[in-house]
Amino acid sequence: MAAKYPKAALRNRFHGNAKVLLKIDPSGKINAVDFLRSSGWWILDQTLAKSVIGCKILDEAPGKELNAAVNYIFRLDEELRFDMDPELIADSCDKSDSVRITDPTENGLGIVVGSLVSKTGEVQRTSLEWASGDEALDRESIRLVKSCKFKPATTAGKQYNAPYSVRLLPVSK
């Protein structure tokens, strides 16, 4: 079950780790995918979902519906990787009463904001990769990410503009 890397994702150097729950039908085929954690990029997540739905992954039909949690890594070829990806500087972001940045190991799709981090560590552009359905939360997520500072991506000691995605969850009240 290998998803072909989308050309646009390669051009933009998008990469990440997705965690999905595969819904397997009684015949052993995947009939649905639920994202437990986004790769950080909608194009990669959609590629993963499209590439696995319909695949038969069990040789022997289980005769009942099953679920299987799977991690999927979208990794760039060596020549496209930075020596060091951008890194969010802890506590550099504004505070928010409505959303919070997640821990990388925390599950929950949440709201995902993609950004282009400049070689000076500033957010140049943002994109809403996964929306919450609540316009106010989505706007606040973008505002919060734009306020953050980063260590820029580097290769051979030189700094570069690079993509970075941030996953946020609503603050529990």
Number of domains in the chain: 2
Task: Kindly tell me if the per-residue pLDDT of 47 is higher than 90.
Answer: yes
The model's pTM is 0.87
What gap in Å lies between CA 58 and CA 111, rounded to an integer? 33
The residue with greater pLDDT, 1 or 46, is 46
95 within domain boundaries? yes
Task: Kindly tell me if the per-residue pLDDT of 103 is higher than 90.
Answer: no
Decide which of 57, 79, 101 is a domain's last residue: 79
- What domain range is 56 assigned to? 7-79
62 within domain boundaries? yes
What gap in Å lies between CA 59 and CA 29, rounded to an integer? 10
Task: Name the β-bridge partners of 151.
Answer: 87
Share of the chain above pLDDT 90, in %: 85
- Domain identity same for 66 and 101: no
